[in-house]
Structure 1
Amino acid sequence: MLLKRAFDIGGAFLALVILSIPMAFVALAVRATSKGPALYWSQRVGRDNRLFAMPKFRTMRTDTPVVATHLLGDPSQHLTPIGSFLRKTSLDELPQLWCILKGEMSFVGPRPALYNQDDLIAARTAKNVHLLLPGLTGWAQVNGRDELAIPEKVALDAEYLKRRSFLFDLRILGLTAIKVVGATGIQH
């Protein structure tokens, strides 16, 4: 897994250098179109079920309840004016490159659960998925993203645990690029 970590560090550093100016524009756009900070820091569950603070560009109003998007009655009513665009393009995820550099996340792995998604955390722990570093993208993301029910998501995460390799990660990254360009499987 030394190759995976080297790829994560090199890729995240390079991406931050290349994307620093676009990220600054996104931050300014978030601030200009809604009240509150540009970044939203959420408590997420990482490797071995340890909590860490994960940043995203803020896509929701500051008074939105801290729950998974699918648990909001009508998520669109909580979005900022540019929130839907940021989610469709996955630009809201770019600050997580910092977590990859820090070693709290990887480019590929199961998406980190919110601290209060007890059902997802328990199901992943039962399948040993909690032993993995969470990812910016993952096998479940390229197979349905927000459209997946928890049992399906956990089954795909467990499949990733069994099949993980550098080549499989590269395949997932390629599929992610296709999904992002098509903006498929995203709740907004």
Structure 2
Amino acid sequence: MNFYAKYIKRIQDLLIAFVMCIVLSPILLIITILVKVKLGTPVIFKQNRPGLNNRIFTLYKFRTMTNMKDKNGNLLPDEQRMTKFGEWLRSTSLDELPEIFNILNGDLSWVGPRPQLVKDLVFMNKKERQRHKVRPGLTGLAQVSGRNNIDWDEKFRYDLEYINNITFFNDWKIMFQTVHKVFCKEGINTEGLVTSEDLGDYLLRIGRIAKKEYLAGLEKSEQLIKHQKK
């Protein structure tokens, strides 16, 4: 890694995160109250994500969906659990504000490859997993180049392009572009879907993997999470 990536980037992340915690504290409090009233508890949605060197960490977000279940106790599909308020949180990216605390504890950087799901990790090939050589980011080159409305091949191409050219200028350029994308509400969801498509689902849909391989990947991801919790 270059001097900026090795010595400056982490210090910069911490300084910005401390300032943002202070500046955004009133907004964080208001959203916390609104989420609790409109969606219930827990207010914070926690999810396992693979980070630096494939280490699994807990990502924090404001919840955007209800816990509505069917008669068998299974969660209903995303589109049925998503509320207007939840859609607004996502469209404004306010649901991602708690990730500032992930930046403070070192799980995230402000800029880097966006942390995907554990069940996405198991479907990545060796080259694609190189994205985990650096700390993942709250935003990244892929997000300002299409956010969720680009396919997985493009996401990986942008991720690998970023990790090969981490500079002060590129990071600040991506951060400013992210602000523009958020205000313009561009590429929030994958076209035709309420939430973005998982890598395994994508590979199965386009025929790159068989159903048997897909199910084996899901089982492997569950084993990784269980192993991490021990």
Q: TM-score, normalised by structure 2?
A: 0.73
- Please point out which of 168, 171, 184 is paired with 1:169: 171
The answer to whether the Cα contact below 8 Å between 1:112 and 1:134 also exists between their aligned partners in 2 is yes
Number of the residue aligned with 2:11: 6
Number of the residue aligned with 2:95: 92
Q: Report the residue type matching 2:149 in the other structure.
A: E
Q: 2: distance between equivalents of 1:114 and 1:149?
A: 15
Identity of counterpart residues, as a percentage? 37
- Give RMSD over aligned pairs: 1.7
Q: Report the residue type matching 2:168 in the other structure.
A: F
Number of the residue aligned with 1:158: 160
Q: Trace 1:4-153 onto structure 2 (pairs within 5 A).
A: 4-63=9-68, 75-118=78-121, 122-123=124-125, 125-127=126-128, 128-153=130-155
Deviation at 1:80, TM superposition (A): 3.1
**TM superposition outliers: structure 1 runs of 4+ over 3 Å:** 73-76
SS where residue 59 of structure 2 aligns?
Answer: strand
Number of the residue aligned with 2:207: none
Structure 1, unaligned stretches of length 5 or more? 65-72
Deviation at 1:146, TM superposition (A): 0.8
User: Alpha carbons of 1:172 and 1:131: their partners in 2 closer, same or farther (altered >3 Å)?
Assistant: same
User: Alpha carbons of 1:44 and 1:167: their partners in 2 closer, same or farther (altered >3 Å)?
Assistant: same
Give a deviation string over 1:3-35, Cα, whole Å, max 9, x none. 111110000010011111110100110110023
SS where residue 116 of structure 1 aligns?
Answer: helix
User: Alpha carbons of 1:33 and 1:81: their partners in 2 closer, same or farther (altered >3 Å)?
Assistant: farther
Q: 2: distance between equivalents of 1:97 and 1:62?
A: 25
Structure 2, unaligned stretches of length 5 or more? 70-75, 195-230
Q: Which of the two has higher C-alpha Rg? A: 2
The answer to whether the Cα contact below 8 Å between 1:139 and 1:156 also exists between their aligned partners in 2 is yes
The answer to whether the Cα contact below 8 Å between 2:50 and 2:121 also exists between their aligned partners in 1 is no
Deviation at 1:178, TM superposition (A): 0.4
The answer to whether the Cα contact below 8 Å between 2:114 and 2:139 also exists between their aligned partners in 1 is yes
Q: 2: distance between equivalents of 1:166 and 1:126?
A: 25
The answer to whether the Cα contact below 8 Å between 1:36 and 1:62 also exists between their aligned partners in 2 is no
